Structure 1
Amino acid sequence: MEQGNSLKLLHQPVWRVIDQSSLGPMFEGLQSFAMDDTLCTSVGAGEAPATARAWVHHDTVVLGIQDTRTPYLQKGLDVLGQAGFRSIVRNSGGLAVVLDDGVLNISLIFSEDEKGIDINRGYEAMVELVRIMFSDFDAEIEAYEVEGSYCPGSYDLSINGLKFAGISQRRIRGGVAVQIYLCLSGSGSARAELIKQFYEQAVQGESTKHKYPSIKPEVMASLSELLNTPLTIGDGMLRFLQSLKKISGTISAGQLNEKEALLYDGYFSRVIERNHRSLAK
């Protein structure tokens, strides 16, 4: 995919930016799932402009549906709980990831009808955005699956073979949410060690229908570690906003409109119910 094609997707008449990066520990992961479903619905229906949302969740492990089918799930959950992490189950694909106050998450929400967004094009747009965000560093950001990382995928982002970010997508009601977690600070290998321990206890070497990653903590790092520069969530937000403005020209701080607020309540109730069902096995 050509870089220019990806940048065209990022070049919107206006980006509405919803900044939820500083809401603190009380802002829970399930709220984010409901937020992105709400935004996909409204943007997909043409009732809201393309929207970029930034968010941070404290001490949370987000599991994939596949993770809830491990033979000893409760033992894995106990490991996470003892480490001080809450566990939730995402409503999209993928496997377990760690979120904490050193991880910046970004969602880009487009209308699926606009400019023909195939799956790879959505991923490539996010890759280009991250490259622009950190273009002042002499480091090549590559996109390929990093073996031994948690939640491995074709669009893992790495520097010198060490993964610092993963990208996913969710499509609902005509909207596309391209989501990334960026490990800005802290220890990437410590996060990976936690997920390694989860799988060790949740699978315990049994033969399973689904394949779970064999985690190698040494293949993961934070951008602060990789770039040898302290990076905070505030630093990441500034780079994100400056890059988005550089690409599109116009960004506008926003929040849910009245109709979206009503949609959100319904989606949040569904997310809570789905999460409860997934973990009550």
Structure 2
Amino acid sequence: MNIQQLLYRKNWLFFDQSVSGLSMNPMYSFAMDDTLCRRAAELEDTAIARSWVHDRTIVLGIQDSRLPFIQAGIDFLTEKGYQVIIRNSGGLAVVLDPGIYNLSLVFREEKGLTIDRGYDLMVAFTRSVLDELGESIVDGEIKESYCPGRFDLSVNGQKFAGISQRRLRGGVAVQIYLAMNGSGSDRAHLIREFYNRAVNGAATKFHYPRIDPEKMASLEELSGHRFTSDELNHRILLRLQKLSDQLAMYELNSTDWDRYEDNVTRMLKRNQIVSP
């Protein structure tokens, strides 16, 4: 099964939190993707796309939370006006702010949708949405970026996006952050200083990234065009329309809300380490 076949669904559902997310605790956003994983696992030939944008937040990975001077790092981020949370999926520290657009594509787990194929389909989908950049978008690790990974997306060696994946209860959420606008290097400077303070020269059990801020950029910096959430939503909806027989907006039902509350409770428990 090729990538286009994996992306094509009889029904695509779109759930937009690109505006409401700005006033929402980002922990709840990760709980929402877990909720949608459960729902997608129950639906035949149906997938869910969710857009989400949050205010100034640093999302840490589990390994980050175990750094020797983590509290000093968190205190620095707080002083800079960021809240700090720990996510429920893999990876290291990333920045969320109003210039960062996040998209989750949520599927029922099925034969052919391997971990690598999950990443491949998000790369293909992103290239189709950002058609002015298209094939100039390269997937491959930018080691000097924050949260480096095999499926970083870059143009001319500057990373503007990173992809992660969450598999839960028969559902698969493939998540991407896109730096729409603003300064990629400023965000990278922030995370580099976080690591400087949270490590403070001590030995660590994992290799945290040695960040070069010039290796990161936003889509605005790369293309000269200022992207907005509304524009990306519109582009994504047009693309999903071509990948389905029917496109509709998704609304949570009572079962979803019950599951969501349970998932929020789990996220809050995970984040006790960063609570004051």
Please report the TM-score for the alignment, with normalisation by the length of structure 1.
0.94
Cα distance in structure 1, aligned partners of 2:104 and 2:270: 21
Q: Deviations over 1:197-225 (max 9, x none)?
A: 10000001211111100111000000010
Deviates more, 1:82-91 or 1:258-267: 258-267
Q: Quick check: 95-104 or 237-246, which moved more? A: 237-246
The residue that corresponds to 2:32 in the other structure is 35
- Deviation digits for residues 139-171 of structure 1, max 9, x if unmatched? 611100002000000000001110000000000
Counterpart-to-counterpart distance in 1, 2:44 and 2:133: 38
**1:155 matched to 2:151:** yes
2: distance between equivalents of 1:221 and 1:29? 23
2: CA distance, partners of 1:91 / 1:47: 26
Q: Gapped runs of 5+ residues in structure 2?
A: none
User: Which residue of 75, 85, 88 corresponds with 2:85?
Assistant: 88
Contact 1:36 1:177 in 2 (8 A): yes
Q: Work out whether 1:7 is the aligned partner of 2:19.
A: no
State which of 65, 70, 74 in structure 1 corresponds to 2:71: 74
**What corresponds to 1:204 in structure 2?**
200
| Alpha-carbon spacing, 1:240–1:198, altered in 2? closer, same or farther (3 Å) | same
Q: Give the match for residue 274 of structure 2.
A: 279
Residues 121-136 of structure 1 mapped to structure 2, 5 A cutoff: 121-136=117-132
Unaligned runs of 5+ in 1: none
Contact 1:30 / 1:88 at 8 angstroms: preserved in 2? yes
| Residue 215 of structure 2 corresponds to residue 243 of structure 1 | no
Q: 1:215 aligns with which of 211, 214, 218?
A: 211
Note if contact 1:188-1:221 (Cα within 8 Å) is conserved in structure 2: yes
Which is further off, 100-109 or 234-243?
A: 234-243
User: Cα distance, 1:82 vs. partner?
Assistant: 1.1
1:105 equivalent to 2:112? Answer: no
Shift of 1:45: 3.1
Corresponding residue for 2:23? 26
Cα 1:111–1:28 shift into 2, 3 Å: same
Query: Contact 1:17–1:51 (CA<8 Å) still a contact in 2?
Result: yes
| Structure-2 residue corresponding to 1:16 | 13
Q: Is the contact between residue 39 and residue 256 of structure 2 (CA under 8 Å) also seen in structure 1?
A: yes
* SS of residue matched to 1:166: strand
**Structure 1: how far apart are the matches of 2:62 and 2:46?**
31
Determine the structure 2 residue equivalent to 1:182. 178
Is the 2:59–2:94 Cα contact (8 Å) retained in structure 1?
Answer: yes
What letter matches 1:82 in structure 2?
E
Q: Secondary structure at the match of 2:262?
A: helix
Provide the rounded CA distance (Å) in 2 between the counterparts of 1:206 and 1:47: 51
**C-alpha deviation, 1:280, in angstroms:** 6.2
Q: Which amino acid in 1 is paired with 2:181?
A: S
C-alpha distance in structure 2 between counterparts of 1:247 and 1:220, whole Å = 31
Q: Look up the SS of the partner of 2:22 in the other structure.
A: coil
Offset at residue 235 of structure 1 (A): 1.6
Q: 1:134 to 1:13 in 2, by over 3 A?
A: same
How far, CA to CA, are the matches of 1:70 and 1:242 in structure 2? 43
Cα separation, 2, equivalents of 1:104 and 1:83: 21
Q: Is the 8 A contact 2:8 2:244 kept in 1?
A: yes
1:138–1:47: structure 2 CA closer, same or farther, 3 Å change rule?
closer
Whether the 8 Å CA contact 1:102–1:184 is kept in 2: the answer is yes
Secondary structure class of the residue paired with 2:58: strand
Contact 2:108/2:170, CA 8 A, preserved across alignment = yes
Supply the RMSD in Å over aligned alpha carbons.
1.7
CA distance in 1, matches of 2:164, 2:32: 16
SS in 2 for 1:149: coil
Give SS of 2:9's match.
coil
| Alignment check: 8 A CA contact 1:20 1:55 kept | yes
